[in-house]
Chain A
Amino acid sequence: MRAGRLPRAARPVPATLALLLAAWILITATAPAPGQSRALGQRVASGAQPTALDQQVRAIASRLRCPVCQNESVADSPSELAGQMRALIRAKLEEGQPPQEIVAYFVSRYGQWILLDPPREGVGWILWSAPAVVLLVALMAAVTFLRRTVRQGEAAADGAESVTG
């Protein structure tokens, strides 16, 4: 073994890395949605002014699609309907309804289409698991590629050594 090359024990590293990453993706994809979605530039921080109720309203509203806009969430849309929906969410929260029930209410009125994060059921499963599958396949391909090329590298290096040595 020449200096610079890691010992053989280091070899399963890509495979381990692959598994770890895939596990990570699977976990993030299947974990239950946290109370607040992390939409880019959308969450309200626990600053001085916005109250906990404001935050809850925003968290629910950012999961719902504004029905009359082009690809805007209820939380961000300036439209009148979105304003009414936010008011409705607030009223329902004040009545003590749990967020899931409020979301379910909007789904029953507008259909699954209203949800910006589609449910992990039925065809939704394909959507949520497809990236993890792609990641696994890509990592496996990369590992196969490494196996092939690095083994050749060793053969060439050994050959070179036997010639010079």
Chain B
Amino acid sequence: MVSILGTAAIATALLLALVGLAYLLRGRARDDADLVRRGHRAVVALLVALTAAVALLEVALIGRDFSVRYVAANINTATPLPFRIVGLWGALEGSILLWAWVQAGYAALVAIRYRSRHQETVPLALAVLLGITSFFLLLMLGPANPFARIFPPPPEGRGLNPLLQNHPLMAVHPPFLYLGYVGFSVPYAFATAALLTRSMRDQWMTVTRRWTVAAWSFLGAGIVLGAWWSYEVLGWGGYWAWDPVENAALMPWLVATAFLHSVVVQERRRLLRLWNHALVIVTFLLTLFGTFLTRSGILGSVHDFTQSLVGPIFLLFIGAVLTFSVGVLLLRRDEVRDDGTLPAYLSRESLFLLNNVLLLVLAATVFIGTTFPLLAEAVGGVRLSVGPPYFNRLTVPLALALLVLMATATLLPWGPVSLSALRRLASPVVVSLGCVLALAGAGVRGFTLGAFGVIALAAAAQIAEFHRGARGLGRAEGRPYLLALPALFGANSRRYAGYLAHLGLALALAGVAASSAYRAENDHALRRGETFRAGRYLLRYDGAALVRRPDRLEVVAAVSILPSGALEASPGRPAAAVPALATLYPSERFYPQQRTPIPTPAVRSTWRGDLYLVLLAVAPDGSAVVKAIVNPLVPWIWTGGLLMALAGVASIWPGRRS
């Protein structure tokens, strides 16, 4: 029953998309406001139909309706309710439905928000969005139907991949990614419509700025939450493995970041028109490419991916979007000709250009490293791996160059670089040198020391700008300094939100640098009651227990953190009698659908870093092997990353213009 209703809902959605497309295109061609209005209504109805489809799939997932193949493949009777709900984005078909739903949501928002504005472009922009949605709807009616039936229904489903069922972050990370991915279709649609209608030459970016920043924030938050999930679930003590799935999300984020910067140059100087169009197109293509990479099965093996039609169809669609976009650009090349000028070779504007160069080369490096093994195998039959050593070697220097640039460009005013403006660099440079000296005194050496110096420079430059702004505003309006600081966001939310995002990046990279260079890890074979040391921590293994849960078995170890000087303070006292400061419970989880146990780490975070414990084995006599990792500054990564996303939100928060 659910199958039929669900497929019908998707078919209705496709019908509505096509009808809406026809209304909008004809309404625009005939300049008939009534037809256009009907088109808008079709867009909203499309959202309703897809919401019904999502609700139906959720009903099937929550009610464990194993006659639906997707449910049988991803849920079993033991799957707890939260993860049955989350099962919507646990596999290919469900995530395509989620994509289409989010896409319809964005389209409906555009239709409602611009009901009576930008009459030239909005119908075409909506038509582009409907075209994209139709592709995903066709995919679902063809090879990726989430409502496909299985007969006879199996008595028990296979269950979600246990890794996906192991942590609540799994519930939020994919929706954020999708909200980000799909969000970039809005600036793409407006850019295309602006070209086709020869209107909104430099305004399409301003009109879609909020959408772009929102998508950028969602995607950034999605990436950080994904890294966090990997850290909390996978038990290797790392957070970024340069896995193709991670790279797929990073590439559009990098290009979108370039776009957010180069947009400013176009607004100020009427330059880089073609370039900005290209960036929007590339960002959108990369979101499609990312979905293709992660969902077509091509990563398992190049030869796997032709087993389902989804991969080839996706490639065709990416090719079609590329052809269409380039075609539109060629057709309207007179529209994207620049007529502005730059005042000097060395100006803040040219530094923005260099920022774009570096970000694009970063994205290209990630792209090359991600696709090269696929190409080498498909074309030459050579099996190669491209892993962390390659990516780190090439991206770290680029990232450091980008940080130096970020510090410089933040401090300089628009226009030509003058010697007096360069003097603003002085205090951040002094701060950075001070940091370097202090760290060198603490024993940091070599490359890591240099990296910290650059990060400190970048952070100090942002703080210096906040300080200069707050002092200036305080003087101009007679406000006390501490009140003027938050008022900066009201005065120029875009600029200071940008600096806040820069600060977040510096924080996150400080965490990356510290945890890469100074992670200390050791495996400890322990008897019950035995104490051991990990970095500054004194720990005691208190034994293990078997815990039965509805969907799994768990072997849980208890490891207590003792005051680090406890043993020396009273040498006579047995370690077992020392009261614990806290207890951590790393565990191994056994799921019926997986042969090997999943180690679930226990993490204790302070601002200085993490103590990260992984239970590797427990013997019948209760002795255990525990991996202890001391990972400095890791919480800075999450803080910095989420600060960047929040900065994005702050810059588009409505109603704070003054």
Contacts and interface: CB of A to CB of B under 8 A. Distances in A.
B386 A118 contact: yes
A25 B394 CA distance: 7
A45 B633 CA distance: 14
B341 A116 contact: no
B205 to A, nearest CB: 19
Nearest to A115: B385
Interface string B391-424: 0111011100100000000000001111000000
Interface in A119-159: 123-124, 126-128, 130-131, 134-135, 138-139, 142, 145-146, 149-150, 152-153, 156-157
A131 B416 contact: no
Contact of B236 (A21, A47, A77, A157): A77
Interface in B352-401: 353-354, 356-357, 360-361, 364-365, 368-369, 372, 376, 380, 382-390, 392-394, 396-398, 401
Nearest to B390: A117
Contact of B353 (A6, A21, A63, A145): A145
B519 A43 contact: yes
A76 B596 CA distance: 16
B387 A14 contact: no
Interface string B555-597: 0000000000000000000000000000000000000000010
Contacts of A28: 393-394, 397
Contacts of B350: 14, 146
A145 B353 CA distance: 9
Contact of A5 (B365, B393, B416, B599): B416
A114 interface: yes
A48 to B, nearest CB: 8
Contacts, number: 205
B279 to A, nearest CB: 13
Contact of A112 (B343, B384, B521): B384
Nearest to A80: B596
Given A63-B389, A71-B387, A116-B390, A149 B365 contact: no
Given A4-B415, A135-B361, A116 B386 contact: yes
A145 B418 CA distance: 22
B238 interface: yes
Contact of A38 (B235, B344, B396): B396
Contact of B383 (A17, A79, A113, A130): A113
B341 A153 contact: yes
Interface string A52-83: 00100000001101000011110011110000
Contact of B516 (A5, A39, A63): A39
B345 interface: yes
Interface stretch (B74-82, B108-116, B239-247, B495-503): B239-247
B623 interface: no
Interface of B: 235-244, 271, 338, 340-346, 350, 353-354, 356-357, 360-361, 364-365, 368-369, 372, 376, 380, 382-390, 392-394, 396-398, 401, 415-418, 447, 512, 515-522, 533-535, 596, 599, 614, 616, 630-631, 634
Instruction: Give 9 nearest A-B pairs by CB, closest first.
Output: A116-B387, A153-B341, A117-B389, A41-B238, A47-B520, A39-B388, A76-B236, A113-B383, A131-B365
Interface of A: 3-6, 10-11, 13-14, 17, 21, 24-25, 28-29, 33, 37-45, 47-50, 54, 62-63, 65, 70-73, 76-79, 111-118, 123-124, 126-128, 130-131, 134-135, 138-139, 142, 145-146, 149-150, 152-153, 156-157
